[in-house]
Amino acid sequence: MNAPLPVTEPVLLNHRDDFPILARPVRGQRLSYLDNGATTQKPRAVIEAEARFYEQSNANIHRGVHWLSQHATDLYDQARSTVRAFLNAARDEEIVFTRGTTESINLVAHSWGMDNLKAGDEILLTGLEHHSNIVPWQLVAQRTGAVIRVVPVLDNGELDQDAYRRLLNEKTRLVGVGHVSNALGTINPVAEMTRLAHQFGAKVLVDGAQSVPHGVVDVQAIDCDFYAFSAHKLYGPTGMGALYVRHAILDGMSPWMGGGDMIMTVSFEGSQYAPVPQRFEAGTPNIAGAVAMAAAIDYLTAIGMERIAEHEALLLDYATDALQSLPGVRIVGTAERKAGIVSFLVEGIHPHDLGTILDMDGVAIRAGHHCAMPLMTRFGIPGTARASFALYNDYADIDALAGSLRKAQKLFGVG
């Protein structure tokens, strides 16, 4: 008889040394960087990839006949292929490079929304949305006469799926939903929500800014029509991102910015646009940013997105237990399925004061409404303190957070 296999406890990843900035003390303390929902730090591989582009490959793309321009174009095209594979899109042409999630959603709102929405049509958003997936649709609604409906949020921070089903109807033309709530960490069932929306002929846009760093994303499995994300939340550079659009939809969309590199021919009588996705990338793009974003994806893929998800789940459990053990601390958002984000309140201490005090101990968190003011209004609060985790965080970071919270409570005489 074979002996039973030993039970092994899950262990954290150990990649802190890959990130040069984490070796820098803050106010004389070890940096516990827990503001990853706002932006992640960059591994040495990404920093070196961007520097190497400028040192060895810098040239403008598509237009040049010289070797360096062709080489830069190859790198840019390879970056698009890397993003395509990362999202499991069907073809490279479905990936549009943008400045990030905000620009991606605005592109969809302008190029698809303005042409396809009319008075009386309904745009269905959710109460969990970031402002970037609210304001562009408000602008479209004002100009087209479309109406915005909102899926309510339950007390635990999950979307009311029964209400979602009731809100869907023949007038619903677009559903906009965040894959993961940046404020609460709630993971939304976007594949099921997409399936239901498609039954009514509605298109679905998924804001993936907070999901792509935390686990595997498969746009074909989700079956969404649009998927947007930002590189800087994915351990890549700022000012860079991508938008996935189902090819049949993208090919029928008109450009939202005109200029160089998005055209085939130009005359004063009219212009012929370039094929997709080049049609949506007017002007000189962030070539180095695309190369660095691809390097970030390569870095993460080598580690394994499943392993990163497991690592962050361990941190979330540890942090949840640590915060719940402190008197006067209330976690806001207790959904059954959450990513590595925990929002909380400390009785008697404003979140902004809390963030300032924790900073003195080298603990970096986010405090405020997290660009989710309607969600804060839903819970009757001005904002929360938010700790958000990444692959380089460890239990010591959470111990530092909990210890600093206890100090803050003593300072304010609460807890």
106-133 pLDDT, tens digit per residue, is 999 999 999 999 999 999 999 999 999 9
- Kindly tell me if the per-residue pLDDT of 3 is higher than 60: no
Q: Which residues of 319-341 are buried (b: 16+ CB within 10 A; e: fewer)?
A: bbebbeeeeebebbbbbeebbbb
What span, in angstroms and rounded, lies between the C-alpha atoms of 332 and 377?
A: 13
Q: What whole-number percentage of the chain has pLDDT above 70?
A: 98
pLDDT in tens, 253-282: 999 899 998 999 999 999 999 999 999 999
pLDDT in tens, 241-255: 999 999 999 999 999
The pLDDT of residue 159 is: 98
The pLDDT of residue 63 is: 80
pLDDT in tens, 51-82: 999 999 999 999 889 999 999 999 999 999 99
**And the tokens for 58?**
């810098």
Which helix (H) or strand (E) is 405 found in, with range?
helix 395-412
- pLDDT band per the 50, 70, 90 thresholds, residue 9: low
The pLDDT of residue 4 is: 55
The pLDDT of residue 156 is: 98
Residue 346 pairs in a beta bridge with: 329, 349
Mean pLDDT score of the chain, rounded to an integer?
A: 96
The pLDDT of residue 7 is: 46
Angle between helices 287-303 and 305-324 (to 10 degrees): 80
Report DSSP state, residue 7.
Answer: P
**And the tokens for 172?**
């619903």
Neighbouring CB atoms inside 10 A of 21's CB total 13
The pLDDT of residue 394 is: 98
- pLDDT top residue among 263 and 299: 299
CA nearest to 188, candidates 139, 224, 225: 224
Residue ranges of domains in the chain: 16-35+304-412, 47-302
Average confidence (pLDDT) over 389-402: 98
Report DSSP state, residue 111.
Answer: I
State pTM to two decimals.
0.96
What span, in angstroms and rounded, lies between the C-alpha atoms of 54 and 38?
A: 27
Catalytic residues: 371
**How many residues comprise the chain?**
415
The dotted CATH code for 16-35+304-412 is 3.90.1150.10
First-to-last alpha carbon distance for the chain, in angstroms, is: 56
**And the tokens for 391?**
């692959």
- Is 91 in a helix, a strand, or coil? coil
- Kindly tell me if the per-residue pLDDT of 287 is higher than 80: yes
The pLDDT of residue 372 is: 98
**And the tokens for 45?**
């591989």
The pLDDT of residue 114 is: 98
CA nearest to 404, candidates 20, 22, 30, 14: 30
Instruction: Could you please state the CATH topology (level 3) that the domain comprising 47-302 is classified under.
Output: Aspartate Aminotransferase; domain 2 (3.40.640)
The pLDDT of residue 390 is: 98
Q: Which residues, 6+ apart, have CB-to-CB distance to 189 below 8 Å? A: 161
The pLDDT of residue 64 is: 84
Contact between residue 337 and residue 309 where contact means Cβ atoms under 8 Å apart: no
